[in-house]
Structure 1
C-alpha cells in the first residue's frame, strides 16, 4: 500500500438490540481521520422486531434472523456484502469487524489499524481494548494483561515463545486485508466462538503475520458475574473441541494459570483479600465451564443447553 493511497475500508458490525453505545460507535466511525467506505450493520432480529434505520448514507442494515446467527457465518455474510459491492478487484481493500459495544477512543482508530498493512506480510491487525470508566478492578487488570500499550507483530516463528497467544486476536475490533481473508475461505462456520483466533491461526500458518496495534484503541469491557464467566468459558471449550486441529497442538491452560497466579499475588500484596477471593472464585467458574465445554459432546442435551450462553447454536449444530 502506497503511503499516498487512500485505503478503502468497509466496517462490519453484528448488532442485537443496539443501544447508546452503538449510536456513539457509528458517530465516531464517521468522524475518523480515515473515513470508512461503508458500514454494514448485520442486525440480529427476532420475529416481529423492527429493523434499524440507517444513521448515515454510508450505512446499510441487513437483518439476520436470530436463529441463524453464527459468529463465523454472520460475519462472513457481511464480508460477502462488501465483496459484492466492490467487484472483482479486492486488492488493497480492508474489512474492519467490530462489535456494537466497542467505542473508538479517538478519531485515528482506522488510520492506525490500516498502517501496518504497508508490510505486505500483514494479514490482520487488531486494536487495544480499554476498560470502561465504571469497570471493576478485576476487569481492568484483565484488559491490561490482554491488551498492553505496546505493539506486537506475531508470526509462525513466535509459536514456541508465545504459544496460544500467537493466535490471539479479537473481532471486537480487528481489520483484515480482504484478499487475504478471501484466500483463506473466510471465517469458519458453524462456530460458537473464536472465529477470529481460528482465522488468525490460518493466516499465521500460511506465512502471514498478525499485528496488535497498541495505539489503536477502543473502549470495551464487561463486568461478568461468575455464572456469566462459566457460560462464556463453556462456549470457549466447545469451540476448541470443535476446531481441535487449531487448539490441540497448543495448550491455552498454561497461559490462563500464569495470569491467575500473577493476579492473585498482585491483589494479595495490595491488601485486597476480598478481591483475591472473588477472583479465585471466578477462575474456578471459568475452569469448570471450560472443562465441561471441552467435553460437551459427552453431556446430555439439557445440560449443554444450560451451560451455553448460545443455546440456539447448540440446538442447530451439536450433532454436526
Structure 2
C-alpha cells in the first residue's frame, strides 16, 4: 500500500522539521508528504523545501477549514492510503506508520487513529487525559457499539489517522463546513454506513496540550457548536455524560497519585469546559460579536456568513 501523508500547517517552524524527519525514517516510507500551509509568516516553507518528497501547497488566509483544507490535499494525493497528522505531533518510534495502517481493510475497517502520549512537560491532569482517551488496548468500533460506548463510538482523531482513500471519497470526505471535529463526523458517517473504525494503540505519537482555563473554554465552546450544527451525524447521542465520567475518574487518579491538591484546579477547569460547551451548543441564541470572542476558530463564523449570503444571492 502506498501512503500519502497530509499535514495542514501554519507557522510550524517549531515542529515541522522534526516531524518530517520522523516520518521519513519509518519502516514503511510514505510515497509523499503533502504540506498544505495557510500563509505561514515564519520559516515553515523554507524548512519543508530542505526535504525531498515534499509537495508544498500554499493557501491564503480565510481559505482554511479543518475539513475542506484536508479534502483539498487529499484530492491531489497519489497514495491509496491517506494519513493525516497535525503539525505539533510526531511519531514515537519508527513503527508508527506500519502500526497505524495495519488494521485497514480487515474486518470492514476503513479508517484508524493512533495513541497520543503526553509530552514530558505535561501537567498531571493532561497526563490523565491522554490515558483516559488513549488506552493501551485496541478498539474496533461499529454501529453495534453505540448503546455501549455512546458518543465514544464516534471518537476519532486527525492528530494521527489513516484512511483507505477509496472509502474516504466514497463517503464524501470530511465535512467542509464544520468548525472542528471533522474527524468525528467522518467516523460517524462510516459507522452509520455499517463500516468500522479502529483505535490502534501501538501507533504512538507524542502530542498533548497544557491549555489555560480560557483556552479550554474556547475549545469546548467550539465543540458545542459542532454538536449543535451536526446533530444528525451523531444520532442524538449526547456527550455530557462522557465529561462527567472524565471528572470522576480524574479525581480518583489524583487521589491515587497523591495529587489531591489539584482537585480544585480540575473542578474549575471542568467548569470552564462545561460552560463553554453549553454556550457553544446554544450559540445561535447569542449575539454574533460575542460568539466570535468565545470561539477558538472565529473565522468559521465569517465563512459561514459569506456562504449563507451566497446561497441567498443564488
Q: State the match for 1:39 in structure 2.
A: 33
Q: State the match for 2:75 in structure 1.
A: 80
Flag the 1:49–1:108 CA change in 2: closer, same or farther, 3 A.
closer
TM-score, normalization: structure 2? 0.93
Paired residue secondary structure (1:215):
strand
1:218-273 Cα shifts (integer Å, max 9, x gaps): 00000001110000000111111111112351111111101111212332454433
1:101-151 Cα shifts (integer Å, max 9, x gaps): 111000011111111124151111100000001111010000000000111
Query: Equivalents in 1 of 2:73, 2:296: separation in Å?
Result: 23
Runs (4+) of structure 1 moved beyond 4 Å? 48-51
Q: State the match for 2:312 in structure 1.
A: none
Point out where structure 2 has 5 or more consecutive residues left out of the alignment.
309-314
- Root mean square deviation, CA, Å: 1.6
Q: State the match for 1:200 in structure 2.
A: 187
2:147 is aligned with 1:153:
no
Higher mean Cα deviation, 136-145 or 260-269?
Answer: 260-269
Q: Note if contact 1:45-1:51 (Cα within 8 Å) is conserved in structure 2.
A: no
Q: State the match for 1:126 in structure 2.
A: 113
Alignment of 1:171-210 (within 5 A): 171-210=158-197
TM-score, normalization: structure 1? 0.91
Q: State the match for 1:90 in structure 2.
A: none
Flag the 1:240–1:26 CA change in 2: closer, same or farther, 3 A.
same
Query: Equivalents in 2 of 1:133, 1:265: separation in Å?
Result: 22
1:78-98 Cα shifts (integer Å, max 9, x gaps): 10111xx46xxxxxx100000
Q: CA deviation at 1:57?
A: 2.3
Q: State the match for 1:285 in structure 2.
A: 272
Q: State the match for 2:22 in structure 1.
A: 28
1:19-66 Cα shifts (integer Å, max 9, x gaps): 3322111001000000001100011116x7777032322111111112
Query: Equivalents in 2 of 1:318, 1:242: separation in Å?
Result: 14
Q: Note if contact 1:117-1:123 (Cα within 8 Å) is conserved in structure 2.
A: yes
Aligned positions, number: 305
Q: State the match for 1:52 in structure 2.
A: 45
Q: State the match for 1:89 in structure 2.
A: none
Q: Note if contact 2:16-2:44 (Cα within 8 Å) is conserved in structure 1.
A: no
Q: Note if contact 2:111-2:161 (Cα within 8 Å) is conserved in structure 1.
A: yes
Query: Equivalents in 2 of 1:49, 1:67: separation in Å?
Result: 18
Q: CA deviation at 1:297?
A: 1.0
2:118 is aligned with 1:138:
no
Q: CA deviation at 1:314?
A: 1.4
1:193-219 Cα shifts (integer Å, max 9, x gaps): 110000000111111110101011000
